[in-house]
Chains A and B, each alone.
Chain A
Amino acid sequence: NAGVMQNPRHLVRRRGQEARLRCSPMKGHSHVYWYRQLPEEGLKFMVYLQKENIIDESGMPKERFSAEFPKEGPSILRIQQVVRGDSAAYFCASSTGTANTGELFFGEGSRLTVL
């Protein structure tokens, strides 16, 4: 059973470009979480999605950021018109979502560098 797969692992963008980060959850998992981690800082929650639904997006910046988890295919975190402050590691996690078994499985992260 493959783990949570994130790609690309490293992404370099110039200011103003778009960044798309993909996350394929573990098989059988229907819940996906996205977190951002700035250098030397903790993980900041961004968004929690279930298939085709956004459950909690309270951590998403109001502009330029969007996330989706379609019925088929990976979850996508999209950052439009990137700025230097968007440089960070973006982690995706998945879970079965059942009750409070609660175990999150994390990917190895996508490291975005904005020049």
Chain B
Amino acid sequence: DAKTTQPNSMESNEEEPVHLPCNHSTISGTDYIHWYRQLPSQGPEYVIHGLTSNVNNRMASLAIAEDRKSSTLILHRATLRDAAVYYCILRDYGQNFVFGPGTRLSVLP
């Protein structure tokens, strides 16, 4: 499976934007980039995914580098409820989803 690298932890202030980076230098042409997050004591939940173009949904935006070797998850206004572990995952069709350690985001009031 292709690998991703994320910072172990990040902090943000409430109501400020958060940019969560992910490096995936060995990404293949058919790997999609997925982001999930896990709130304390809960199962992970889907955030967003994309292939080449930047993506937006109600939760977040995904900015994908032109060479696809990195991407950034953008939370436009962090809230206390956004405190979670965020996972960046590469996945090709038919493969399983391999979760790394993720980035633990703390949101300060």
Contact = CB atoms under 8 A, between A and B. Distances in A.
| Pairing of A with B | yes
B44 A106 contact: yes
Interface stretch (A64-72, A78-86, A97-105): A97-105
A3 B36 CA distance: 17
A107 interface: yes
Interface string B37-75: 010001111100101000000000000000000000000
B46 A33 contact: no
Interface residues on A, range: 20 to 34
A45 B32 contact: no
Interface residues on B, range: 20 to 34
Contacts of B99: 35, 42-45
Contacts of A102: 32, 34, 49, 91
Contacts of B87: 42-43
Given A91-B43, A91-B44, A109-B43, A104 B49 contact: no
Given A44-B99, A91-B43, A91-B44, 18 more contacts: A33-B97, A35-B99, A42-B87, A42-B99, A45-B99, A56-B95, A93-B43, A93-B44, A93-B97, A100-B91, A102-B34, A103-B49, A104-B46, A106-B44, A106-B45, A108-B43, A109-B42, A109-B43
